[in-house]
Structures are given as structure tokens and as C-alpha cells.
Amino acid sequence: MTDSKQWRIVLVGEDTSVPTRLQELLAARSHQAHVLQRPSDLPEATADPRPDLIIFCAGPDVESALRFAAEAPERQEIPFLLITQCWDERLVLAGAHHGALAVFASRYENLPMCIPAICSAIDRHAAMRQLLHRTEQLKAALEQARTISAATGVLMERLRLTRQQAFEVLRRAARTRRTRLGELAGALLLTLESVNTLYTTASGPTGHGKREAAHGTGLGI
């Protein structure tokens, strides 16, 4: 993580010696760290502005701390990690199970060595969230492109137009209605689907109503 990025971090621990020491070490890197002794104070501490990370400094009952960290509703998907003075492979598995970014085992005097790893963990998490956001944006853009393409195809068929002509008709209609092109395309397809559903229902097994339904969809374009 670059030092130019300042993170807001909440440190939770009944024994405040470890959180306070971490607060000093993080402040030396220009990060804002706030110490809580009682987990019950988390709702207020995680209110606007939301912290970028929660660090639970656990005592002997590590797994209970992990469960609390994972299940606390006030976290609201805020990433968290755990620092404990004891080490066991089960901690890694429990940490992964409960959603911790990482689990660190360190004595008080070795806490400075944890800071680079803490910064790296939150940096990776931020990068993954940004990547996920971009992926969702690309998915939405692709879905919108498919919707517009399908609506253009409908206009080509119904109005006997070329693809470019049909697209221009759709775009002009969106401008006239002051709506987004993708939204209008989606509405057109929904309208067509509704008409087809009505036609199928009205026709029944005998096929009556085919002539009446074939003379337009009421799309208004």
C-alpha cells in the first residue's frame, strides 16, 4: 500500500495495550486509528464516515472473537482482521471461515512487524473491491448493449429498416422522451413481451385472434 493513501481503522480489544500500540504505529504512517475497549461501541464507531478496516485484538478465546467479528451486524461488510498472541493452524481456517482478511499472531514487542502486513491486506482488499466494481460495471454495460441490440432488431423487423436506421429511430425516441437509450430499449422489449403474452392467451389452442395481433404492437415509436 502506498503511504499516500490514508486509511481509517478501528481497533477493538478489551486489553487496550495492544490496540493503543497499533494506533501509534499506524499513526506514524499517517493512518487514522481509533481504539475501542468494548465491541458494543462498534455501531457508533462504524457510522459515517465508515472505517476502511476493523482490527480485533483477541484474548485467549480467539474463535469467539472471530465469530463476533463475522456476525456483528454493525460491521456492514467492513473488512476485518484478527491479531492474537497465540498461534494455531486452526486460527487460519477459522479466520477464512468467518471472513477475516488475515489472522496475525504476534507478541507485543513484535507488533511493528505486523504493520506492513496489515497495510498490504487492506490494500489487496481495496484492489479486489475496485476490480469487482469494474466487473459489475462491465456486466451492466454488456447487458445494456444486448438489450439495445435486441430492441433494434425488433424495429428492423416491424418497420422494415436497416440496423442503422432502426438504431437511429430508437435513439431519437430516447431523446424525445428524455430517457436513456438502454431504458427505452428495455421498455420496448417488455411491451413486446406483454403483447405476445396477451396474444398467446387470447389465441388459445384454436389460434383465434392471430389477425388482430399481427397488425401492430402499440409501441408508439
CATH number at residue 67: 3.40.50.2300
With respect to residue 56, please indicate whether it lies within any of the assigned structural domains.
yes
With respect to residue 219, please indicate whether it lies within any of the assigned structural domains.
no
Pseudo-torsion of CA 25, 56, 128, 99, nearest 10°? 160
Residues 95 and 141 in one domain: no
Q: Which structural domain range is residue 156 located in?
A: 136-213
Residues 84-103 have a mean pLDDT of 76
With respect to residue 188, please indicate whether it lies within any of the assigned structural domains.
yes
The domain that holds 150 is classified in CATH as 1.10.10.10
With respect to residue 118, please indicate whether it lies within any of the assigned structural domains.
no
Contact between 169 and 157 under an 8 Å Cβ cutoff? The reply is: no
Residues 101 and 163 in one domain: no
Residue 2: pLDDT band (50, 70, 90) is very low
Q: Using only C-alpha atoms, what is the Rg of the chain?
A: 29
Give the mean pLDDT of the chain: 77
pLDDT at 24: 92
With respect to residue 124, please indicate whether it lies within any of the assigned structural domains.
no
Residue 92: pLDDT band (50, 70, 90) is confident
Residues 18 and 97 in one domain: yes
With respect to residue 218, please indicate whether it lies within any of the assigned structural domains.
no
Q: What phi, psi does 69 have (nearest 5°)?
A: -60, -40
Give me the number of domains the chain comprises.
2
